[in-house]
Each structure stands twice: as C-alpha cells, then as structure tokens.
Amino acid sequence: MWTYGGTYPGLTIRRPTGQTTNVTFTNNLDPAAGALTVHNHGNHSSPENDGQPDDFLIATGESRTYTYTGLEDDANERGTMHFYHDHRMDVNGRNVWMGLAGLYIIDDPADPATLPSGAFDVPLAIADRQFDANNLIPYVFNPNGVTGDRFLVNGVYQPYFDVGDRKYRLRLLNASNARTYNLALSTGDSFTQIGTERGLLPAPITRAVMRMGPAERLDVVVDFAGRLGQDVYLTDTLTGVQLLKFRVTQHLIDNSTVPPTLRALPDIGEPTVTRTWRFDRTDGHWTINGLRFDPNRIDAWPVLGTTEKWIFTNPTGMAHTVHIHDVAQQCLSRNGGPCLPYETMKETWYLDPGETLEVKLRFTDYTGRYMLHCHMIEHADDGMMTQFEVVAPSRIVLAASGRKVQGRQTVDLSWSGASSANIDIFRDGALITTVPNNGSYTDSIGVRGGNVRYIYKVCEAGTQTCSNEVTVRFGGPPR
C-alpha cells in the first residue's frame, strides 16, 4: 500500500485543541504516483494548508509542512476526529484507495470529561478493498465509485477487539471511497450517538441502525455491560457482513457517564445570501450545477464574516455525500421538513436521490479558495467538485441586469467604489475583459436557448479587490 508513515491508516495524530501543529509530509512514492496534496478533512485550515487539488502540491521527492492552528473563529476548535487524506485532482480515488488516509483527533477540555476516555476511547476507520490473487489492491477507476468485497477496520481484515463489560467511546469513520454502511450491533443493542464530524451533539441520541456514507464520522458510546463472555459484532446491515468482533473478556468497573447535555451549537447568525448546488449528472459525467471541476473556475465568492444558506439538491439516481471544506455547517431543513436530530452540525452530508438539504454556514478567519464536492471520491474525480472563494468585505458595489437585444442575451453592469484605472470583468469565474473604470459595461453574450444563469463580479484590475457577485438569469425561473 501507499501509506502515511508506514501504516494503514496512517499515523494517528492526536492534539490538544488550540495548539499549533505542524505536520511535514514527504513524497517518497514512485514518480509514477505524481504530485500529492494532503487535506485535513474537517479541519478549519487556511487555503494554503487545506490540500488544494492542483496547487501547493508535494512533488516527488519533496516535502511540505502543513500548519494547523487548532483555532476557529477566535476560539479553540471543537474536539472531534478528523481524517487526513490525499486530495490530488483526477487521481484522488486511486491515492486514497492505495492507502493515503489517516486519523487526526482533537482533544478539547471544553467537552465533558466523564465520557469514556483513554483505553476506552477507540477510533475505528472502516474501509472496503478488493484484493487480487497476490493480495494486492489494484485500483480500477469506475466513475460510479470503486468498492471492494473485503472489509477492513483500522486496516485489519476480520478483526477482533477484546473489551471489558463497560462503556466504550467508538469514533467511527467511513474511510471507504464510495461504499455506504448501515451499522448495527449483533445484540440488537443501540448506540448512543454523542457526536458528528464537527464535535459533540447538543444532547446524546439513541440509534439502533446508523447509516454512514463515505467520509462521514459517527461518535458513539456502546455499553457492553451484562455481556461478559459474549461476542458482540459491529455489523453492516446492507451486506450482512460482520465488520468487527468485540470479545467481552473482562469485568471492569465503569465510572464513565454520558451526560444528558453535551455541547451547544455555536451561534453563526442568520443567512443573508442563498446559493443552490445541484449534484447532478450532465453529458455522462458527475457535475455540480451542470459543470465538471475546473481548477481555474470558481463558482461562488462568499464574503468573510457573513452567513449563507446553501441548498443541495440531488436530481440523479445515485446517492452523494456532500462535503464542504473550511467551516462547519448547521442543518436548516431536509426535504422541506425538520433535520435529522443527529445531524445538527456537520461537514459531510448524505443526499439520497431526489433529496434536498438546506444548511447554513459562516465564513470565518480565512479568505481564499476552498473545495466543495461529493465524497464518493470517484464522483469527484469524474467532475463532481467545485470551489468557492471567501473574499474580504468589499467597498465595490456591483449591479447587473439582463435584457435581450435582437435576440442576444445582453447584461448591463454598473459599479461604484473602485479606485483603480481599469476594471476586470468576470463572468462565471472567468475573466472576460478589462475595461476602463468608468462605472459601466455592457456584456453582449449571444443567442442561447433554455434557462441560463450568469454570475458576474468586477475587480480592480489585477487585484483581489472585488465587488459582490450578481446572478443574472435568462429564459425563466431558476431550475
């Protein structure tokens, strides 16, 4: 396998919150593997430390040090389990399949100290692989997702774990490229879910079966009391496979407790901007809003310090796991109704065919580019990924309106507040022209049918000082 530090999963990094952590990665792989990039999934990293898919790469034989501050919005990051993994454009699925993934745990003294800890706090990364006759794991790209028929927990096939008859905290990660699990206990006992990807829930929730899509994490407590001498299996009800055997071999005193309240959600304000992201299939490829990933295209420019509502839809026949980098998201609604009670604040969301999910998020600390993609990694490699750029609040104000001139879609732009001699005009993230800063420009796009949408912004020429963005639609209501 390809590994981080010689093991699969890679070396577990465990750090107290609020402490700056530097992690240096060296690319010792065969040159055929190409350049690498490492994303600390779930962490609030600055853009240059976030593992950009086509930028800040680690070339063969080179090293790169990533800095994680442990801070978020002027406070300590919340305690949780992240995972770090490769994020290289086009070959992300191959690189993760070959083994480039590891765990990153943040311990937070603000979390209740009575939860099971130490030897009773156990991270479990679940992943499937396909082995060939030589016990190798060749990767064969399939845009619908690469899965295997063997199941590994922390890299071990058919594992067992000796436990005492007491409570354990299990930090579950679905480290698979594309497979979804429905987790249950063979005894029929329930899990007590205490947390998600982004830390503890407001209160614990009892669940008998838990769906977990790629990159989702479930922080749960399982109680083996009364099971001394028994074997208890963690099973996947979708395949019927026993993923992990707990052998309850020891009587132990249990002084841990799960408090009735755990951790309140942060107040991130009310959204002022709404965006819709359609996880779709277009011209035979996985897309977002009809477009495949292009490292040179940015699809949204949220403003630092503001809160937005993002709506995710899935008109396709396959499930997707929506993952947003940078900041956590809080659920507003699912399918027009209430959120699932255990999905209060997350960063990877399961979206079944036909579903709609509304979340809100507030952009804090960093300006710059971040990813948004499906975490069924082959879907992302096939194109279901895009990027947004958090921008500083602007003094440049842009207005835009569309009209038809002899059938041609035409957009009148006007702006104020820019102080440069020239102005760059962007349509859908691409620079279309640079014009004198006289406050207006008319963009004659052409004759196009159907419902189309253009996003405009203007910037002081050659700089990152930009306006708000304005969406102009032609041909009917938004889809």
Residues engaged in binding Cu ion (CB under 5 A) = 320, 374, 376, 379
What is the Cα–Cα distance from 237 to 276, expressed in whole angstroms? 33
Check binding of 88 to ligand C2O (CB under 6 A). Answer: no
Contact 53, 36 (CB under 8 A): no
Residue 87 binds to ligand C2O (criterion: CB under 6 A): yes
325 binds ligand C2O (CB under 6 A): yes
According to the binding rule CB under 6 A, does residue 94 interact with ligand C2O? Answer: no
Q: Which does 455 bind (CB under 5 to 8 A by kind): Cu ion, ligand C2O, none?
A: none
Segment contacting ligand C2O by CB under 6 A, of 70-78, 174-182, 371-379, 455-463: 371-379
- Residue 371 contact among Cu ion, ligand C2O, none, beta carbon within 5 to 8 Å by kind: ligand C2O
Q: How far is the CB of 323 from Cu ion (least distance, A)?
A: 10
- Tell me phi and psi for residue 295, to 5 degrees: -60, -15
323 makes contact with ligand C2O (CB under 6 A): yes
Nearest residue to ligand C2O, using CB?
A: 41
Which residue in 215, 234, 262, 298 binds ligand C2O (CB under 6 A)?
215
- Binds ligand C2O by CB under 6 A, chosen from 4, 35, 39, 396: 39
State the Cα–Cα distance between residues 336 and 456, nearest whole angstrom.
Answer: 30
Q: Does position 346 bind ligand C2O by CB under 6 A?
A: no
Is the CB of residue 363 less than 8 Å from the CB of residue 329? Answer: no
50: its two tokens = 């976030």
Residue 334 interaction partner, one of Cu ion, ligand C2O, none, beta carbon < 5-8 Å per kind: none
Partner whose binding site includes residue 413, from ligand C2O, Cu ion, none (CB under 5 to 8 Å by kind): none
Contacts with ligand C2O by CB under 6 A: the residue count is 10
Q: Does 373 bind ligand C2O (CB under 6 A)?
A: yes
Q: Which of residues 375-414 bind ligand C2O (CB under 6 A)?
A: 375
Provide, rounded to whole angstroms, the least separation between the CB of residue 314 and Cu ion. Answer: 8
State which residue, 124 or 173, has the beta carbon closest to ligand C2O. 173
Residue 85 interaction partner, one of ligand C2O, Cu ion, none, beta carbon < 5-8 Å per kind: ligand C2O
Which CB sits closer to ligand C2O, 87 or 167?
Answer: 87
Which of 4, 37, 41, 410 lies at the binding interface for ligand C2O (CB under 6 A)?
A: 41
Which of ligand C2O, Cu ion, none does residue 374 bind (CB under 5 to 8 Å by kind)?
Cu ion
> Given the complex with ligand C2O, which of 190 and 289 has the nearer CB atom?
289
- Per CB under 6 A, 427 contacts ligand C2O: no
State which residue, 89 or 185, has the beta carbon closest to ligand C2O: 89
Taking contact as CB under 6 A, which single stretch among the options 151-159, 250-258, 367-375, 453-461 is the one that binds ligand C2O? 367-375
Chain contacts with ligand C2O (rule: CB under 6 A): 39, 41, 85, 87, 215, 323, 325, 371, 373, 375
